[in-house]
């Protein structure tokens, strides 16, 4: 039987292993359905005139129990016969259609498809640990934290989700940031292994580039930190290891709030110990 997939079962996505024994037929388009993102997985719902990009496979019926279990078939999704456009031909196939209600604000426009085609995890480790601070980089405006006017991203859509992450380099504070009381700001020492506490935001690649541009010349070195759920994790830091410089209390306070928000189980003593180590770390 033919199966149309549009989310984590697609090539280079984290559940594609379920399709290991399936035959790839080609890229295809589902008509009269709309695509929505539900944080870490997508949904399709009937809608006249809407379209969804995906992939078409020939699957053995012996694969269906595992696929149905993955999709929570019958409770959350229903395997449904649909019409798929494959080149100039319309073919019949099955697709997993979402059964529950969706928030219209989570709809993914056709020109932004396929799902997660251009998303990355932006990993941060300084003041952007605090969501309220980070949102100025996305939406723009005058920050109540550093009293700086931010232009925001060209696409000011909210990030899809966020989660904690650890970065395998030592955190340190350096440079002199006028907007933070002429104190040091956070960087990563890529020559010194460590465990920096970070937070990942799921944004488009274009948003990531706009965020990095707003950070300025001090954060021009991009670091590939691997993948999570099939999507790249990227952060940035200085292109060289600069001398340590004491951060201003206002900057540290934003990081403290960000750590509490991202790691709610951390106690104050652990937060202070973590920051103290970063302030006092030696250049190697």
- Averages of pLDDT over runs of 10 residues in the chain (284 residues) are 95 89 97 88 95 97 96 95 96 97 89 82 98 98 96 92 96 97 97 97 93 94 89 94 96 98 98 97 69
Task: Let me know whether 137 and 261 are in one domain.
Answer: yes
Is the domain of 274 the same as that of 162? yes
| Residues 173, 85 share a domain | no
Q: Which domain range does residue 182 map to?
A: 119-280
**Do 211 and 96 share a domain, yes or no?**
no
pLDDT recorded at residue 230: 73
Q: Helix (H, G, I), strand (E, B), or coil: what is residue 147?
A: coil
pLDDT confidence of residue 46: 97
238 and 138, same structural domain? yes
pLDDT at 284: 55
pLDDT at residue 116, as a whole number? 73
**Whether residue 67 is found in the same domain as residue 131:** no
The last residue of a domain, from among 97, 112, 127? 112
Q: How many residues does the chain have?
A: 284
Specify the CATH number for the domain of residue 102: 3.10.490.10
User: Within this chain, do residues 68 and 144 fall inside the same structural domain, yes or no?
Assistant: no
State whether 57 and 179 are in the same domain.
no
Q: How many domains does the chain have?
A: 2
Distance CA(85)–CA(93), nearest Å, equals: 10
Residues ≥6 apart with Cβ < 8 Å to 104 = none
| Contact in structure between 209 and 197 (CB atoms under 8 Å) | no
- Catalytic hit among 20, 23, 27, 71: 71
* Residue 71 is a catalytic residue: yes
* pLDDT at 37 (0 to 100): 86
Sign, Cα dihedral of 184, 158, 170, 242: negative
Statement to judge: residues 224 and 154 lie in one domain: yes
Q: What is the pLDDT of residue 135?
A: 98
pLDDT of residue 39: 67
Global pTM reads 0.72
In what helix (H) or strand (E) does residue 233 lie, and over which residues does it extend?
strand 231-237
Q: Are residues 125 and 263 in the same domain?
A: yes
**Geometric angle at alpha carbon 166, from 7 and 196, rounded to 5°:** 150
159 and 264 in a common domain:
yes
């Amino acid at each position: 039987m033919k199966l149309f997939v549009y989310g984590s079962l697609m090539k280079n996505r984290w559940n594609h292993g379920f399709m290991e024994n399936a035959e790839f037929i080609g890229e295809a388009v589902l008509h009269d359905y709309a695509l929505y993102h539900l944080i870490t997985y997508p949904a399709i719902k009937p809608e006249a005139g809407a379209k969804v990009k995906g992939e078409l496979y020939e699957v053995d019926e012996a694969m269906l129990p595992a696929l149905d279990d993955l999709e929570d078939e019958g409770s959350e999704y229903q395997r449904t016969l649909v019409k798929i456009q494959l080149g100039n031909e319309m073919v019949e196939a099955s697709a997993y259609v979402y059964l529950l209600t969706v928030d219209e604000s989570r709809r993914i426009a056709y020109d932004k498809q396929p799902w997660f085609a251009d998303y990355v995890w932006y990993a941060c480790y300084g003041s952007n640990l605090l969501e309220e601070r980070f949102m100025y980089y996305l939406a723009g405006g005058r920050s109540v934290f550093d009293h700086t006017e931010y232009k925001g991203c060209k696409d000011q859509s909210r990030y899809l989700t966020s989660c904690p992450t650890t970065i395998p380099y030592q955190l340190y504070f350096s440079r002199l940031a006028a907007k933070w009381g002429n104190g040091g700001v956070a960087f990563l020492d890529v020559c010194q292994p460590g465990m920096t506490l970070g937070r990942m935001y799921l944004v488009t690649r274009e948003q990531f580039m706009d965020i990095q541009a707003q950070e300025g010349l001090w954060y021009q070195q991009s670091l590939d930190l691997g993948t999570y759920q099939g999507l790249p994790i990227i952060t940035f830091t200085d292109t060289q290891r600069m001398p340590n410089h004491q951060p201003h209390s206002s900057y540290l306070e934003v990081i403290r709030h960000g750590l509490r928000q991202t790691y709610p189980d951390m106690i104050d003593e652990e937060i202070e110990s973590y920051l103290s180590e970063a302030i006092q770390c030696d250049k190697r």
